[in-house]
Amino acid sequence: MEQNTQQTPAFQQPHPYYGAQPYPQPPIMPPKPKPERKKSKPRDLIFAVLLGVFAFMMTDCLIQTRSLGIEFSVGAVGMISSAVWYLRPVLRVKSLYSALCVALFAVGSVSMIFSADSAVKALTLLCLMILYVCLLTETMNLRAWAAGSFRSIGDFFYTGFGASFGKIGDGVYALFHREKEASKKNSTALRVLLGILIAIPVMVILGALLCRADEAFNGMLRDISLGSLPKELNSLVFAVFLFILLFSQLFCVRFIKREARSESEKGFDPIILTAFLTAVSALYIAYLFSQLSYFFSGFGGFLPADFTYAEYARRGFFELTAVSVINIMIVLLSSSFSKKRGKQLFLPVRLNLLFLCVFSLILTATEITKMKMYTDAYGLTRLRILTTLFMIFLAIVFSALIISIFARRFPYMKIAVISAAVLAISVNFLSVDRTVAEYNTRAYQNGALKEVDVYTITELGDAAVPYLLELAQCGNEKYEKPARENLEYRLQVLHGYEDIMLYTSDEDEYFSYKEYNGKLVPYDFRGFNTVSYRARQLLLENEKLFSDTKQKESI
């Protein structure tokens, strides 16, 4: 009998239907522990008190005087000095660049005292903010990208926003939580000081209300001008916000560590990029040859046909601005995101980028020469000076980019920051308004200019007062009358008149004044600068000039 050699399959347990038994659950991962917030030490609270005082000085000057004067300068220098003292034990990088940032920040703050130009001061303030952020990024090594490269702009924004606004909670926590290692004596003293600081805004509000409620109390405190304290409340509110922002940033940057990132091997294909740059370069070469006489006529000192000096200079400036901005973006993007051979760009890419930079430098030199022709013909204005400085800045940037094309580690972004700060700060010391008024007045007196645009000078700030006084006594009624009227307007401002300038229907007479015998407006020392103070003194010293002129006109 034949045996069945086939084995019977083993019994298989059927797959349980859904819900018959629980399925294995995935392992539960424990929650990530939250990072422990740092607590403050006595050194932190001492720095907080200093920073609070300096923050109030800066905001008080800006809000109350609507200017940046000596109080802001003292507050800014004190702020950067206390920040350097606070971070000195934990500095990670000490370099020439960080030293330059500190020095330029201090000099730029002091330069506010020597200028009355609000627009230039605003530009200087922007440069100070950039220098401050660059200083923290450098000294605390908050970099993820190579220093001074185009990608380091990301590090700048991280320090300026992520490490400031993003750390407000940690900073406020540290202000109200102390480490237990501190001695009880120091802890008690600092708590008392913190309580007094918190009580100050409450005392300001209560004091103002009591002064308004009771005349006797108001008279008792009149010597310390408590009634004027509510005006300082706005400064205090903004100072608290600025203090919290700065303290949180400076307290937390000590503990931030960022991992360095390397440039990706991916990027623009060098062949495609070379073709693109070659096409752009060919267009520039064709344009350069077609406009050769137009661009380079400025070097010869002659004016092309069918052009006025104004058209010649302005048209060139707008062309330069548009072309230069495009070229800068092309060079930065190409050098930062192109594939590289090792750490160097491919040679055809480098040669094309070099041509773009050299071409832009030629345009810059041409425009500076044409602007000189424009100035020799019509004199200086604020816009012509600022335009020239901007072109000088472009020349510096393109020169730095040329070096970076062949030396990859050259910190061209640092060069751009330092050069922009130096130019902005130097304008405060040189004074654009004084330079314009002095050049035009001296050029007219020397015969270099046939006429002087006195109305342009009257639109300038306090730095023009000494030269308006010269024009008011130059012997030419064409210039004397508008100069005297403008000086009298400025003088009446010092005497507290609100409706000084009354326009009339007569086109030849733009001003009509009341006789001023009011009280002299007190000088707010918080907004002191040497230019405005000198102008005020000159107006008061020459007040008799206007009364004598009126007597002669009446006779």
Q: Torsion-angle region of residue 342: left (phi > 0), alpha (psi -120 to 50) or beta?
A: left
Average pLDDT of span 204-231: 62
Rounded Cα distance between 238 and 227, Å, is 20
pLDDT of residue 104: 95
Model confidence at 416: pLDDT above 90: yes
CA distance 378 to 357: 31
Candidates 373, 426, 334; CA nearest to 150 is: 334
pLDDT at 537 over 90: no
The pTM score is 0.79
- The span from the CA of 73 to the CA of 251, in Å, is 23
For residue 74, pLDDT over 90 is answered with yes
Strand partners, 268: 338
According to DSSP, the residues that pair with 345 across neighbouring strands are 340
Q: Which regions of 52-132 does DSSP assign to beta strands (E)?
A: none
| pLDDT tens per residue, range 482-527 | 888 888 888 887 776 544 444 333 444 433 344 444 567 777 788 8
Highest mean pLDDT among 47-56, 165-174, 180-189, 492-501: 47-56
Copy the structure tokens of residue 254: 């000590």
pLDDT at 111 over 60: yes
Q: Is 90 exceeded by the pLDDT of residue 346?
A: no
Predicted pLDDT at 335: 84
How many degrees, rounded to 5, is the angle at CA 88 between CA 83 and CA 91? 110
**Residue 288 confidence (pLDDT) above 80:** no
Could you tell me which of 429, 432, 422, 472 has the C-alpha nearest to residue 452? 472
- The pLDDT of residue 501 is 41
